[in-house]
Structure 1
Amino acid sequence: MEDFDVFTNEINYTKQFYNSILNKYVTDVPYTPSGPNYQSGRKLVAEECLAASKEAECAFHLSEAVSATLRTMAVYRDEQIKAAGNKMHKIESFIQPVKDLIDKNPMTKEEEKLFDFITKNNGNNIGKGLPAIEVTDKVPFYKRYLKFSPENNVDNFQSILKELPKEWTVIQLTAPYNPNENLKPFDEYRIEINSLNLTMMTNAYLETTDVGPITINIPANVNKEGEKPLFTELFSLLDENYKTIDNAQFLNNKRLVQNYWSRREDIDLRMKSVINVMDKEWLGGWGSLLTGKLVDSSLRDRVVQLVDATITDWGFIRLTKKQKILLYNLIESSPALSSQQIKSCIRRILTEHGNTEDIRQVLNTNDCQNCTKEFTFANELCLKCLSKCFEAVHHFTLVDGIKAFSQAATLVKDGDEWAGLKKAKRHPVILIVDEMLDTFPWETLPIINHDPVSRIENIHFLYYLYKLHEKNIVDGYLEAKADVGRYIINPEKNLDRMEKRMGSFVQYWCGAWAGHIGEPPPPEDFLKYLTEADVFLYCGHGDGCHFANGSANGAGVEGAAGARALVLLSGCGSVRLARPPGRAPPAAAHHHLHIAGSPMVVGMLWEVTDLEVDKMVSTLMSLYVPSNAPVPWPSVGKAKWSQGVLDTEVEQKTQFVPERNLLRAISRARGSTGFVMIASAMVARGLPVRVT
């Protein structure tokens, strides 16, 4: 530690000492640390690793920096279940560390003699009791990795990524560390985010090199003069949406009804604007990193050949492997991007993601007052300095560099021989989204809105659910049935029209299913539905999980051990992260359902209106669930649907193509409502699923 500075009342640390404090904090963590504090520490270490070009270490620390408290919940539940089934579990859990310590530090001969003397001459024969307690609990690795222990390390993290299905593209979006999280209310510090870290954990082009996960920092929430920061706009929009829907019950004259629909249209336009800014201003060309692996791998190989040929022809001998991977992804996605997005992204790839040591060696800041050689990341330098550095390293101008790869992108974007790429099918994308960024509708971004996309809390739970259901996962999808269905519709008995609509739908399309309509279910039924059903549908207010409270096991939905159902929750904010006051971690229904083992939860991010949601949910189920219904659901007359009446006497039946891939079915179902606000609310959380 440096001397205390009496003039500034601050203590200055050397960088080496600062790094040692950070690393000690995140490696010497308690068994169940404070989630928010643990996450902040991991984000700080990740920044240090990224600055040092330690990509794998950076990705590992970022993987630890999301939804840490959920891991604590899962570990606690597991411990409670063990304790309920084995009264000796608590004692054994204390004995095991002692036995491990003894095994690592064997007693000397003198200590053995003393121990024998004590045990042989003790009237209680305590020495005979200890060997009788055998700790046989062998916890599988996927459960141990949920804990906070030395097993959470870079090597195991990379091993997990290699074990996951090769079809998956796993992307993590993480907000950077912000010290004001400790000082300000959430409403204030969330708008201070000015960038996000995008980590590619698995990706088609990572496989072509020996490079591990890579991370890039993307400017975000940087607003133009006179515009609201996007965080401010989104949450203002959600607040307005809530008030509009909540006040709808008081509409009692024509003028108020007209005003209601006018506000709904305004909200919808604002959500379109939010998505547009996310696409154009935030991600731009970096949206290419969110796309899934091409089912036809030969297209990927052609992209690699094209980019490699461009590098060879133009002489880019100093490009790093990271730059090549970023270029592969960008060129592949160029048909879905504008020319401006492509060129801007190429410029950043060439100038900001090269070897920082090369930049330091050639950087000359004599003519620049804003830049210094003491930079941490290359994007801290101005464009003029970056351009000069690029020219000094590669011996031709940045303009020529952008031109070279723009020509390759144009060839893919407009060339007839690449036409198949535009409609090529892709494997699933799994997004790990930081709690700070979870409210944004990532799935509706134009570049991925037609592809299979799911969310998961963190890599730990992705691996946990994968191992629980591994035997049924084929080609990256959980192969499920849709034969056994259960439902709970309008349990609080105050959504009459929704009850008639969805009740008539399930009776028509899923006639063999059973459930409760217009009545609250007993807690035991709620839990039984999660374990015995292939598909469980809840239509009512919120997520409905409170109906599981009061069960015999006292654990709520987490008591549904071995839950296997695809859970569809159509209520307002049913999969929204609810954030308590202070720095308490956010929680949601899907957290508890995933802990119980449910592989997939589909729900809503915010408040929705019942008619539009009924359209989406019924469309989704008609696409995903096989049925013997005589008329396809899109052809059924619905003029009196709100009265529970369906018209199946139709002459013209529209062409109906089912979709047994759940994530693709969700993408199609979003198109059944004319409101972007409603469509973008529906998200999938869990493993990719399809009906076999």
Structure 2
Amino acid sequence: MIIDPSQSSSDEYEQLCAIIDDNGHFLTPELATFLKRKCQIELERSEVERAGRSLLHAQAISFHHQTTFQQFRRIQKRQESTQRPSIRRSHEDLFEPDTPDSPSDTPLDTLQRQIMTQQASILAENHVEKVIRSLPDAWRVVQINTQLFLQSRFKKESSEEAIRSTNLPLLITQIDCGQNELVKVAEVPSVKRSDRPTILSEFQEILHTHRQIYTKNQKFDRVAYNQTRDELDDRLLTLLDTIENRWLGFAKLTLLGRPKDPERVRLTDQAFKKCVTKLKLDHVQKSWLWNALDGASWLEEGHLVQVVELLTSDKTVAKALFKAVQEFGVNNPSAGVDRHPVVLILDKDIQLLPWEALPMMKNQQCSRVPSLFFLASLYASHHQNKASVAKVGVNNEKIFYVLNPNNDLQKTQDRLESPFRALSLGEGFVGEWPSFPKIQGALSEMDAFMYCGHGSRLKTITSQEIEKLNIRALPLLFGCNSGRLERLGRTFDPTGTASSYLIASAPCLLGFLWSVTDLDIDTWTVEFLEHWLEKRKGQKDFVKAVAEKRHCFKRLVNSAATVVYGLPSFFETR
């Protein structure tokens, strides 16, 4: 598949469409490259919604391959089981339609079957619209891509290094889910670097310093240690402000969930109707205006100017619109508004950044998924399963926990063992590793699985074995790097422990993007569990509970590491 570089963009576009149509039955990584180039041409043509759909397709391909490979291994395992005495049917087929009483009718079967069948339809006309409409009306999905497909990054830097030469331009696709589906794209230019480090290189340096300061030696200086920690938090706070206000600019509006308060919606609608009578806007521009009013107090003057320029070129109308939006923000602050969930889809070059820790995202219910199509499959698999934890909630007595299994975190054990008993949690293993059958049973049968130890990899079960399970439990991985995804080459997206749990149909999971300090995470663990499971008024949503307690770490660098993957809501505790 070769594109002639000498042809016009119109001819190239037609050739791209033909290649994508001809090869849509087998979703190769190269196809993602063609889709991104198609997106670029569509943006040049101002075909914004079509460009957004091309990006959504491109993002889905890599994780689809991981799931396909695991599906193949599960089929092999089932075929092997039919060659020896088994209670399973000898003719059982993973793709066979299940009856209601079928033993294979599990969230995992539903999830992976849907992902596999999407291979034939993922590029079909109107497929994106069907997927978006299948999701709850309250959800908002935001996909953030760098524009690295316009340049080559592999000549000078390894896959884990930050881009040091320039800050990256972004393409942000916002999707309003449900019956009123809407896709819009914001092009975010790169931030001028001047004599400062790039955003990604500064972030990598912060993480490097964070790891280094906790390495004690004979010359350990407590005063210098505390000073460095404070400086590190200050640097991270400055970086987060730079990402939000200098890099994202007005496009940060895409990260806000829909407001829950009907009065807030009514006031915004009222202001919107007053503004829109003076303008001739298409449906995408109207959406930007509504977003601007809803998030007005988060916008600096320069951001608001950018929004107004999207809506009108009439200077008189622009001046009046600027004033109206600004006044609405003063009278109706955007901070502290209770909002519906947001789901983030992040490409490989910026997925390690702590987007959930941006100042404007405080208390925002938020999760991450590999792609829009995976989110729809995961939602459908749990929505159709009456016994899913996502529907019935979490019972304290059905929380399985593993505490200090390597027996090398005695202080952590001392801090957590008593609170776990006070919360009346279920079966737990303290100071030892449970057996493979025990972990297998806990993940498949319990409501939640908590791991409190080093890292996230379990000694008695591999990631490959996890992917073969039908996971019912909600994993809470209170370990360093438990939510980190790492790149395994130039082509595929990063993968990690979180990917394995998602492939195995876990409804969602809690993890940490990088190393966190034991005292801070232990204190937060107790506070979070009490907030989620015990000190509640009515039912408490799991992902919302994480959002509400994210800022309660003593150190910002630990708070920013907190991440949730999977469904952004649906959870209730009994």
Report if TM-score (shorter chain) is over 0.5.
yes
Instruction: Map Cα deviations across residues 374-421 of structure 1 (whole Å, 9 max, x no partner).
Output: xxxxxxxxxxxxxxxx3xxxxx42xx3432222222332233xx47x7
Quote how far apart the aligned CAs of 1:34 are: 4.7
Quote how far apart the aligned CAs of 1:677 are: 0.4
Quote how far apart the aligned CAs of 1:482 are: 2.6
**SS in structure 1 opposite 2:344?**
strand
Q: Which residue of 1 aligns with 2:87?
A: none
- Conservation of the 8 A alpha-carbon contact between 1:432 and 1:458: yes
Percent identity, aligned pairs only, is 21
Aligned residue type for 1:664:
K
**Are positions 1:212 and 2:128 aligned together?**
no
CA distance in 1, matches of 2:335, 2:556: 24
Quote how far apart the aligned CAs of 1:340 are: 4.2
Quote how far apart the aligned CAs of 1:135 are: 11
Q: Which residue of 2 aligns with 1:556?
A: 465
Q: Which residue of 1 aligns with 2:102?
A: none
**Are positions 1:198 and 2:172 aligned together?**
yes
**Are positions 1:137 and 2:96 aligned together?**
yes
- Conservation of the 8 A alpha-carbon contact between 1:197 and 1:215: yes
Aligned residue type for 2:311:
L
Aligned residue type for 1:678:
N
1:59–1:430 Cα change, 3 Å: same
- Conservation of the 8 A alpha-carbon contact between 1:545 and 1:556: no
1:527–1:332 Cα change, 3 Å: same
Quote how far apart the aligned CAs of 1:691 are: 1.7
CA distance in 1, matches of 2:420, 2:110: 40
Pick one of 140, 151, 161 that aligns with 1:169. Answer: 140
Q: Which runs of 5+ in 1 are unaligned?
A: 1-9, 90-131, 352-389, 391-395, 627-631, 633-655
Pick one of 435, 444, 449 that aligns with 1:531. Answer: 444
Q: Which residue of 1 aligns with 2:508?
A: 600
Instruction: Map Cα deviations across residues 649-675 of structure 1 (whole Å, 9 max, x no partner).
Output: xxxxxxx86871222221232233221
Aligned residue type for 2:279:
F
Aligned residue type for 1:560:
L
Aligned residue type for 1:47:
Q
Instruction: Map Cα deviations across residues 546-598 of structure 1 (whole Å, 9 max, x no partner).
Output: 5313xxxx94111222x121111111111111123554542111111011110
Q: Which residue of 1 aligns with 2:557?
A: 677
- TM-score if structure 2 supplies the norm length? 0.86
Alignment of 1:123-272 (within 5 A): 137-138=96-97, 143-146=113-116, 147-176=118-147, 177-181=149-153, 183-184=155-156, 185-187=158-160, 190-191=163-164, 192=166, 194-202=168-176, 207=180, 212-220=182-190, 222-245=191-214, 247-248=215-216, 250=217, 252=218, 255-272=220-237
Aligned residue type for 2:96:
D
Q: Which residue of 2 aligns with 1:94?
A: none
CA distance in 2, matches of 1:156, 1:532: 34
1:281–1:136 Cα change, 3 Å: closer
**Are positions 1:625 and 2:572 aligned together?**
no
Aligned residue type for 1:403:
K
1:76–1:544 Cα change, 3 Å: same
- Conservation of the 8 A alpha-carbon contact between 2:115 and 2:374: no
Pick one of 251, 266, 271 that aligns with 1:306. Answer: 271
- Conservation of the 8 A alpha-carbon contact between 1:26 and 1:42: yes
Q: Which residue of 1 aligns with 2:345?
A: 432
Higher CA-based Rg = 1
CA distance in 1, matches of 2:477, 2:566: 14
**RMSD in angstroms over aligned alpha carbons?**
3.2
Pick one of 566, 577, 582 that aligns with 2:485. Answer: 577
Aligned residue type for 2:467:
E
Pick one of 1, 6, 15 that aligns with 2:9. Answer: 15
**SS in structure 2 opposite 1:47?**
helix
1:136–1:623 Cα change, 3 Å: closer
Quote how far apart the aligned CAs of 1:544 are: 2.5
Quote how far apart the aligned CAs of 1:684 are: 0.8
**SS in structure 2 opposite 1:215?**
strand
- Conservation of the 8 A alpha-carbon contact between 2:308 and 2:321: yes
Quote how far apart the aligned CAs of 1:612 are: 0.6
- Structure with larger RCO (C-alpha < 8 A, sep 6+): 2
Alignment of 1:112-511 (within 5 A): 137-138=96-97, 143-146=113-116, 147-176=118-147, 177-181=149-153, 183-184=155-156, 185-187=158-160, 190-191=163-164, 192=166, 194-202=168-176, 207=180, 212-220=182-190, 222-245=191-214, 247-248=215-216, 250=217, 252=218, 255-297=220-262, 299-312=264-277, 315-317=278-280, 319-347=281-309, 349-350=310-311, 390=313, 396-397=314-315, 400-415=316-331, 418=332, 423-471=336-384, 478-483=391-396, 484-509=398-423, 511=424
- Conservation of the 8 A alpha-carbon contact between 1:223 and 1:230: no
**Are positions 1:568 and 2:568 aligned together?**
no
Aligned residue type for 1:323:
Q
CA distance in 1, matches of 2:162, 2:35: 19
Q: Which residue of 2 aligns with 1:54?
A: 47
1:666–1:540 Cα change, 3 Å: same
Quote how far apart the aligned CAs of 1:339 are: 3.9
Q: Which residue of 2 aligns with 1:117?
A: none
CA distance in 2, matches of 1:17, 1:233: 41
Aligned residue type for 2:74:
I
- TM-score if structure 1 supplies the norm length? 0.72
Quote how far apart the aligned CAs of 1:431 are: 1.3
Quote how far apart the aligned CAs of 1:599 are: 0.6
Quote how far apart the aligned CAs of 1:605 are: 0.6
Quote how far apart the aligned CAs of 1:195 are: 1.3
**SS in structure 2 opposite 1:158?**
helix
1:43–1:328 Cα change, 3 Å: same
**SS in structure 2 opposite 1:625?**
helix
Q: Which residue of 2 aligns with 1:609?
A: 517
CA distance in 2, matches of 1:589, 1:499: 23
1:657–1:270 Cα change, 3 Å: farther
- Conservation of the 8 A alpha-carbon contact between 1:46 and 1:57: yes
CA distance in 2, matches of 1:540, 1:88: 34
CA distance in 1, matches of 2:426, 2:283: 53
- Conservation of the 8 A alpha-carbon contact between 1:175 and 1:437: yes
Aligned residue type for 1:506:
F
Quote how far apart the aligned CAs of 1:603 are: 0.6
